Amino acid sequence: MNKLGKYYQSKLKEIINYLIFGVLTTIVNLIVYFGLTKLTINYGIANTIAWIISVLFAYVTNKCFVFKATGLETKQLVKELTAFFSVRLFSYVMDMLVLYLCLSVLKWPPVLAKLISQVVVVILNYLFSKIFVFKED
């Protein structure tokens, strides 16, 4: 296989891995979110807690299995975590906005609202992680 073919094969594998771990991250987010809302915790608070837990899960899986970023030096980890959480803040805001619109304005069912918000979040998170956090040098 030529160099270009290997490059595209590695990028396809990266996207597939991202989707697999994105689904797992979404499952973590949904379990925490719906678990907390079942305890009658406000959807905004439940979503914030679910976001923090799922972002930590996503950082570890993205670093190790998707982008295969090496290096465990404290300085690098702090830099990556800061960048990862920073770009995820934007997708968190989008998540909250979609939830607000779907639940409070459109009065859609909670499951539909959360699933729609997660599709938006997964797409944004891949782009942000690729461009800003685990970029190739």
The tokens describing 130, both together, are 């690729």
Residue-level pLDDT at 37: 94
Residue-level pLDDT at 137: 56
Residue-level pLDDT at 52: 93
Residue count of the chain, please give it: 137
Residue-level pLDDT at 50: 94
Task: Determine the distance from the C-alpha atom of residue 109 to the mean position of all C-alpha atoms in its chain, rounded to a whole number.
Answer: 22
* Per-domain boundaries in the chain: 3-133
Residue-level pLDDT at 107: 95
DSSP letters for 39-103: TT--HHHHHHHHHHHHHHHHHHHIIIIIS------HHHHHHHHHHHHHHHHHHHHHHHHHHIIII
d(CA 117, CA 15): 20
Low-confidence ranges of the chain (pLDDT < 50): none
> What confidence tens digit (pLDDT) does each residue in 56-81 have?
999 999 999 988 888 788 998 898 89
Q: What is the mean pLDDT of the chain?
A: 88
Residue-level pLDDT at 38: 95
Going by the DSSP 8-state scheme, the letter that residue 106 receives in this structure is S
d(CA 73, CA 20): 27
What are residue 3's phi and psi, to 5 degrees?
Answer: -60, -45
Residue-level pLDDT at 8: 82
In the block, tokens 């990556």 appear at 80
